[in-house]
Chain A
Amino acid sequence: MKAAPFLWTALGLVGATLARFAVADAAPGGMFGATLGATLALAAIAVLALFLAMVGFARGEGWFARLATPALFGFLLLWLWEMLVIGFAVPFVLLPPPSAIARAFGAHLALLTQDFAQTYLHAVIAGYALGCGAGFLVALAIDRSPFLKRGFLPMGNMISAMPIVGIAPIMVMWFGFEWPSKAAVVVVMTFFPMLVNTTAGLAEAGAIERDLMQSYAARYGATLLKLRLPAALPHIFTALKLNSTLALIGAVVAEFFGTPILGMGFRISTEAAKMNLDLVWATITVAALAGSLSFGALALLERAVTFWHPSFRGSS
C-alpha cells in the first residue's frame, strides 16, 4: 500500500482537530478570537485531506483498506455534525453535538449500565432464547408431518409480515410492568422467523445425500443430526441474526407502553420528553453498540460453524 493515503489521513485528522477548536472560538463567547476565515480554511483543508485519504484507501485491497475507508467516512460524518452544530449554534434541544453525547455517556455511565441490564440482559436475552428455542423445536416437531408444515409455513410467513410490536400493550397488561412482559414481546417476535427459516433449512439437504443416508439404513434421528441439521445451519443463522435486531426493537418498544423506572426504552421516551437529548443519544449509542456487537458475534459464530458453506469458502 502506498504512503499517500496515510499522510492525507494524518493531515486531515490534524486539520479537523484544529478546526474543531477554531469553531469553538469563533462561536459567540470564544476567547482567542479565531476568525471565521481561519476556521473555514482549516475545515476545507480537513475535508479535502480526508476525502483524498478515502479515495486512496478505496483503491486499495486488503482488510485494512476495507476498514479504513468506512472508518474515515464515519469520522467525517461525526466531525461535520459537531462542526455544524457548534458553528451554527444549533439549540441543544434539537441536536446535541457528539462531544456532548460522549460527555453524557461518561457522566451517566452507571445509569446507562442499569438500563442496559434491565432491557438487554433480562428482557432481550431471556425472550430471545425462549423465542428462538421454541421456534426451532416447533419446526422440528412439524418436520415429520407435511400436512402441518403446509399449514404452519404460510401462517408463519403471514405473521412474520405483521406489525407484531403492536402486541406490546397486551403483553404489558398480562405480565406486568417488569421485564417479563418485554421478554414476552420478544418471544413472539422471534418465534416466527425462526420457525420459517428452520423449516426452510431442513428442506435444504440434497436428494443425493438423503439417498446416501437411506442406503446406510440411517434412522430419522441420525439423518436429522448428521445431515439435515448441519445443512439447515445457514438458514438458522439467518434467523438468529435477524432476531437479534428484532429482539432489541421489541424490548425497547414494549417499554414505551409501561415499565418500572428503568430500561432503555423508558430512558429514551422520558428523557426525550424532558429535552435531555444528550442522554437520549447516549442511550441510543448503547442500543446501537449492543445491536451491532450481538450481530457481529453471531456473524463470527456463523463463520466458525458453517465454514464449509459456499458464501464463506474462497473468502479469506
Chain B
Amino acid sequence: MRGGRTSLAREGATLPLIAVILALIAVWYVGAVALNAPQAREQLAEGAGFRDLAAATWSMTRPVLPAPHQIAVELARSLFTHPITSPRSLVYHAWVTVSAALAGLGFALALGLLLAIGIVHVRLLDRSLMPWVIASQTVPVLAIAPMVVVVLGNLGITGLLPKAAIAGYLAFFPITVGMVKGLRAPDPLQLDLMRTYDARAMQVFSLLRFPASLGFLFPSLRIAVTLALVGAIVAELPTGAQAGLGARLLAGSYYGQTVQIWAALFMAAAMSMLGLAAVSLIETLAARRRGGRL
C-alpha cells in the first residue's frame, strides 16, 4: 500500500489529478443541470432555451445540487465577511468542532499509548484486553454518540466535553492497535542485544521499543485524526447543538439550505486535510531528526 502510493506519486500525479478533478467538476455542473431542471422549469417562462435553463439551475437559492461556484461563493462569504468570533462565520463553527476533535485526540493519544504499553508488557492484559480492543473496532461505536451526549447532558456536562469524549473514544482504537503493533516491531535480535547490555525494561522501552513504534504511530494517527473529526461532528447532531459544523449540517437540512450544507461539508473536508497535513509535517520533522526515515 505504502510502496504503491509513493511509486505512483513519484511518476508525477499532479497532471492526472488535475485532469480528474476538472472532469469531476464538469460532471458536477452537468449533474446540477439534470437534478435542478424540474425545479427550474417551474420558474422559467415557456419556451426558454437550454442556455436559460442551465443558467437558472446554476443560480438557484435552494438547489437540489448546488453548482460548485455557488458553494465557493458561500464558503467565501461565510469565511471572510463576518468577524471570526461571530456565530455567522464558518471559522467560528469550524473551531468549535475542531477544538472538540483536538481535545478528544489528545485524550485518545494518552489513553491509547498507556494501554498499548500495558498490553505489550503485561501478558494478562494482552490476553484479556487486546481481543476486546480489536472486537470493538468492528462495532459501530458512533451509534452510542447520542446516548453519551444525552447522559452527560443529564449530569450537567455540556459543550466541549461530551463531544471530546466521543471523538476520543473513536480515535483511541486505531492508536492503541497501531502502538501495540509498533511497540512489538523490534525484532528478537535487537531485544536480545538489549538483554546482553542488561538493559532495564524502562531502557528497552525508551531506547528501542518507543523509537521503533513511531513508524506505526503516524499512520494510525492519520486514521485517528479523521475519526476524531467525524466523532465531533456526529456528536453535535443529537442535541441540536447551536454551534459547530455538525450543527450547520443539521440546521441546513432542517431549513433546506443545501448550499450551507455543502459549504459546511467542504469546510469539514478542509479541516480533515489540515489535520492530515499537520500529522505529515510532524512525521517529516521527526524523520529528519532521526536522519531521514522512521
**A→B interface (CB under 8 Å):** 54-55, 57-59, 65-66, 69-70, 72-74, 93-95, 146-155, 157-158, 161-163, 165-170, 172-174, 197, 199-200, 203, 235, 244-245, 248-249, 252-253, 256-258, 264-265, 268-269, 272-273, 275, 277, 280-281, 283-284, 287-288, 291-292, 294-296
A72 to B135, CA, bound (A): 15
Chain B residues lying within 8 Å of A281, measured Cβ to Cβ, are 147
Chain A's closest residue to B272 (CB) is A162
A153, A235, A296, most chain B CB atoms within 10 A: A153
Q: When the two chains form their complex, are residues B140 and A252 in contact, meaning their CB atoms are under 8 A apart?
A: yes
- Output the nearest chain B residue to A294 by Cβ-Cβ distance: B138
Within 8 A of A (CB), among B119-154: 123-124, 126-132, 135, 137-144, 146-147, 150-151, 154
- Residues of B within 8 Å of A, CB-based: how many? 65
Chain A contacts for B272, CB-based, 8 A? 161-163
Given that A253-B142, A258-B253 are known contacts, is A162 also in contact with B269, CB under 8 Å in the complex? Answer: yes
Give bound CA distance, A154 to B234, whole Å. 26
Q: A257-B250, A284-B147 are in contact. List 20 more A-B contacts (CB 8 A).
A: A54-B124, A66-B127, A69-B127, A70-B128, A73-B128, A153-B8, A154-B8, A155-B21, A163-B233, A168-B249, A170-B262, A244-B138, A245-B138, A249-B141, A253-B234, A257-B253, A280-B146, A280-B147, A287-B143, A291-B139
Docked complex Cα distance between A284 and B138 (Å): 13
> Which of B17, B24, B142, B264 has the most chain A CB atoms inside 10 A of its CB?
B142
Residue pair A287, B139 in contact (C-beta under 8 Å)? yes
A155 surroundings in chain B (CB, below 8 A): 17, 20-21, 24
With both beta carbons as reference points, the residue of chain A lying nearest to B23 in the complex is identified as A151
B16 in the interface (beta carbon within 8 A): yes
**What CA separation (Å) do A276 and B161 show in the bound complex?**
23
Please give the distance in Å from B32's CB to the nearest CB on chain A: 13
Q: Is B116 an interface residue (CB 8 A)?
A: no
- Does A148 lie within 8 Å of B143, measured CB to CB? no
Q: Which residues of A are found within 8 Å of B131, using beta-carbon distances?
A: 70
B79, chain A: closest CB distance, angstroms: 18
- Distance, CA A151 to CA B20, complexed state (A): 6
| Listed A/B pairs (30) with beta-carbon separation below 8 Å | A54-B128, A58-B126, A69-B128, A70-B130, A94-B151, A95-B151, A148-B20, A149-B8, A150-B8, A150-B16, A150-B17, A154-B13, A154-B17, A155-B24, A162-B226, A163-B226, A163-B272, A165-B230, A166-B249, A168-B249, A169-B253, A172-B253, A245-B138, A252-B140, A253-B234, A253-B237, A256-B146, A273-B146, A288-B140, A295-B138
Distance between A185 CB and nearest chain B CB, rounded to angstroms: 12
State whether A74 touches B147 (Cβ < 8 A). Answer: no
Q: Is the CB of A268 within 8 A of B143?
A: yes
Contacts of A294 in B (CB 8 A): 138
Q: Which residues of A sit under 8 angstroms from B64, Cβ to Cβ? A: 173-174
- Residues of the B chain whose Cβ atoms lie less than 8 Å from the Cβ of A252: 140, 142-143
Q: Which residues of B contact A248 (CB under 8 A)?
A: 140, 143
Pair A73/B132 contact, Cβ less than 8 Å? yes
B276 close to A161 (CB less than 8 A): yes
With a CB–CB cut-off of 8 A, which chain B residues contact A54? 124, 127-128
B19 within 8 A of A: yes
Q: Is B140 within 8 A of A287, CB to CB?
A: yes
